[in-house]
């Protein structure tokens, strides 16, 4: 009886250990911060103007309750991605600055897939890219870039680029918005060389509103 109890306790501990994986709050490398089996995308750059590179990570867990295995062995991952921003220090390490558990969308079904990208440019702007691909039910591919800048203790959306490409006609429509100036540009172009689509560009203005903070909505939903 005692042996069975020990086996049960050991199994419970292993189960809890497997599901207790999480991002670390400090470390020197991305591999130290993110569990090895999680999918991750990262970017480095100075976000707060102190001359030290910071780190942004989008990490998707692999918790089994949100995985689905297809008959041929392909694994669908429906875990919620986590966006984490780490502040760099003079010793070359990183400490958690901001964590957003629902800032970016993840895969929701077997036919629509989302991929993420990150970039930090020389102007201290964080760019979060979201690309949608549908394997069924749609002729369009959609991708968006969201530009955030650190101010007043958080990151706020200052610009946005949305592109939609029709796979059957080759028409590409891009709408670029600047939330600081209230101006936007809509361009039309052709993805195919032999297309009869006429390129165009149109500028317009929109009503400016208070800037939205990162994490106040889910990007890509």
Q: Which pLDDT does position 77 carry in this prediction? A: 97
Q: How far is CA 99 from CA 15, 19, 20, 30, in A?
A: 25, 19, 17, 15
**pLDDT tier for residue 168 given thresholds of 50, 70 and 90:** confident
183-217 pLDDT tens trace? 999 999 998 877 788 999 999 999 999 999 999 99
Q: In this structure, how many other beta carbons lie within 10 angstroms of the beta carbon of residue 132? A: 17
Q: What is the share, in percent, of the chain residues with pLDDT greater than 70?
A: 90
Q: How far is CA 69 from CA 153, 167, 193, in A?
A: 42, 29, 40
pLDDT at 5 exceeding the cut of 80: no
Contact between residue 171 and residue 141 where contact means Cβ atoms under 8 Å apart:
no
pLDDT score of 10: 40
Confidence of residue 142 (pLDDT cuts 50, 70, 90): very high
Whether residue 32 is predicted with pLDDT greater than 50 in this model: the reply is yes
pTM of the model: 0.87
Percent of the chain with pLDDT over 90: 80
Model pLDDT, residue 72: 95
Q: Is the confidence at residue 54, as pLDDT, over 80? A: yes
Burial 173-197 (b: 16+ CB within 10 A, else e): ebbbbebeeeebeeeebbeeeeeee
Give yes or no for residue 25 having a pLDDT over 60.
yes
pLDDT on residue 137: 62
Find tokens 């994490």 and name the residue: 215
What was the pLDDT predicted at 125? 98
Return the structure tokens found at 98. Answer: 């901001």
Predicted local distance difference test score (pLDDT) of residue 9 = 39
């Amino acid at each position: 009886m005692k042996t069975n109890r020990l086996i049960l306790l050991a199994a419970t501990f292993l189960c809890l250990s497997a599901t207790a994986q999480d991002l670390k709050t400090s470390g020197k490398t991305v591999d130290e911060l993110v569990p090895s089996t999680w999918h991750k995308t990262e970017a480095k750059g100075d976000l707060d103007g102190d001359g030290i590179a910071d780190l942004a990570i989008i990490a998707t867990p692999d918790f089994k309750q949100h995985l689905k295995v297809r008959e041929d062995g392909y694994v669908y991952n429906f875990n919620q991605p986590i966006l984490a921003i780490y502040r760099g220090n003079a010793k070359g390490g990183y400490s958690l600055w901001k964590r957003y558990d629902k800032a970016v969308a993840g895969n929701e079904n077997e036919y629509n897939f989302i991929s993420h990208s990150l970039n930090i440019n020389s102007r201290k702007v964080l760019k979060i890219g979201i690309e949608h691909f549908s394997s069924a039910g749609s002729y369009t591919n959609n991708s968006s870039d969201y530009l955030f800048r650190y101010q007043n203790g958080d990151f706020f959306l200052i610009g946005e680029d949305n592109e939609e490409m029709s796979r059957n006609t080759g028409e590409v429509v891009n709408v670029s918005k600047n939330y600081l100036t209230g101006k936007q540009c809509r361009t039309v172009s052709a993805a195919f060389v032999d297309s009869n689509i006429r390129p165009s560009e149109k500028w317009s203005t929109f009503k400016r509103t208070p800037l939205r903070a990162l994490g106040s909505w889910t990007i890509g939903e």
